[in-house]
Amino acid sequence: MALSNNTGTYYRTIRNTCLFANSAYIFLRLIYLVIFIVSKAYALIWIDAISILIYLFCFFLLKKRKYYIYALLCGNEFFVFVITTTIMLGFNSGFHLYLIGLCVVSFFTTYFSKNKNIKGSIAWVVLSLIIYLTLYFITHFNQPLYPINEIVEMVLFVGHAIIVFIYVAFYLVVFVKYTLSLEKKIMNESRTDELTQIANRYGLYDYFNQEEHKESKVLALFDIDDFKLINDKYGHAAGDYILKRVAELSAATLPGSFVCRYGGEEFVAVVNSDNYFETLENLRKTFENEVFEFEGKEHRITITIGATVYEKDMTLEKWVSSADERMYLGKNSGKNKIVI
């Protein structure tokens, strides 16, 4: 399930980013079309019209989830567009600034691609730099094919600078948000026991470090009595079923308490110190009276509980160790009991 959720987030991020970017590209091209028409840059009018058709076609690619083809098509279209507009309108028009944004997008694309080959992004950056410098020297020694008014030129340069900054920020925000959500999921999964879907011992460490009122808590370590016999006699599938049911019943019997699988057949419950013996006794009786049915066979289990009240400046290791000692006292004196 965790893998499915991660995959869903992955594809939603790609799809939404591409759809938003493609819509923005078409909007920009329409603005450019107006500027080119007013400037009577006839060659650029045709080039821009073709670009608009390409981005309209890209919606079809995105619908078919052809994200890699979409990235290649957009990247190469941008290269052609930047080269032609810079040569025809001059370096000061600022179209070359898009090359900087393309470098960021190339790494973004690599991160979300399947092979994650960073060499391709590095090659893209080198190519962008070569084109950038080439355009500078070409426009430095040659007049633009379509000279434009200085004010229009300044507006274009400033506009492109703003667009590229927004462009870069947009992709970085998407990248950071996705990475943070992924880190959060990984952190949650690493703190969750895969079999029982309750917290594991790492989750217990987090709980201990974050709990501000430990003085009012009791840590109970409990173990399923003779659990090995169940595995040996009925198989590990039966044992896994019982472990999952123990986790479910513990959480249901101890609402508001922290419950985790500490390891193997051992569980930890951190309960409030008020009437904690009655609370733990209720837990013990719950398992004593429960009938576990698996594949047509009934199983009964008991648990032995060792409990320790938190003492000031006690470490988690010492707290668990103290409860563990009491639990084994119970194990060695008959089982199915609470030792405090």
How many residues are given for the chain?
Answer: 340
Q: Check residue 115 and give its pLDDT.
A: 77
* CB-count exposure of residue 68 (10 Å: 0-12, 13-18, 19+): middle
Would you state the structure tokens that stand for residue 173, as one six-digit string? 């925000």
Domain 201-339 in CATH 1.10.260.40? The answer is no
Q: Check residue 9 and give its pLDDT.
A: 79
**The dihedral sign for the CA sequence 232, 236, 238, 243:** positive
Whole-angstrom Cα distance, residue 74 to residue 62? 12
3-state secondary structure the chain: CHHHHHHHHHHHHHHHHHHHHHHHHHHHHHHHHHHHHHCCCHHHHHHHHHHHHHHHHHHHHHHCCCHHHHHHHHHHHHHHHHHHHHHHHCHHHCHHHHHHHHHHHHHHHHHHCCCCCHHHHHHHHHHHHHHHHHHHHHHHHCCCCCCCCHHHHHHHHHHHHHHHHHHHHHHHHHHHHHHHHHHHHHHHHHCECCCCCCECHHHHHHHHHHCCCHHHEEEEEEEECCHHHHHHHHCHHHHHHHHHHHHHHHHHHCCCCEEEEEECCEEEEEEECCCHHHHHHHHHHHHHHCCEEECCEEECCCEEEEEEECCCCCCHHHHHHHHHHHHHHHHCCCCCCEEC
Q: What is the pLDDT along the chain (340 residues), one digit of tens a residue?
A: 334 456 777 888 889 999 999 999 999 999 999 999 988 999 999 999 999 999 999 999 999 989 889 988 998 998 999 999 999 999 999 999 999 998 998 898 888 887 778 888 899 899 999 999 999 999 999 999 998 888 989 999 999 999 999 989 999 999 999 899 889 888 888 999 999 999 999 999 999 999 989 999 999 999 999 999 999 999 999 999 999 999 999 999 999 999 999 999 999 999 998 899 999 999 999 999 999 999 989 999 999 999 999 999 999 999 999 999 999 999 999 999 999 9
Whole-angstrom Cα distance, residue 94 to residue 101? 12
Whole-angstrom Cα distance, residue 326 to residue 304? 9
Residue 132 near residue 99 (C-beta atoms within 8 A): yes
Residue 197's nearest CA partner among 141, 245, 265, 152 is 245
DSSP 8-state class, residue 308: E
Residue type at 175 in one-letter notation: F
Q: Check residue 6 and give its pLDDT.
A: 63
Residue type at 111 in one-letter notation: Y
**The dihedral sign for the CA sequence 109, 111, 112, 118:** positive
**The dihedral sign for the CA sequence 122, 123, 128, 130:** positive
What is the number of other CB atoms lying within 10 angstroms of the CB of residue 280?
Answer: 23
Provide the b/e sequence for 120-153 (b: ≥16 CB within 10 Å): ebeebbebbeebbeebeeebeeeebebebeeeeb
Residues of the chain with CATH 3.30.70.270: 201-339
Global pTM value? 0.70
Q: Check residue 218 and give its pLDDT.
A: 97
Place of tokens 């009791």: 218
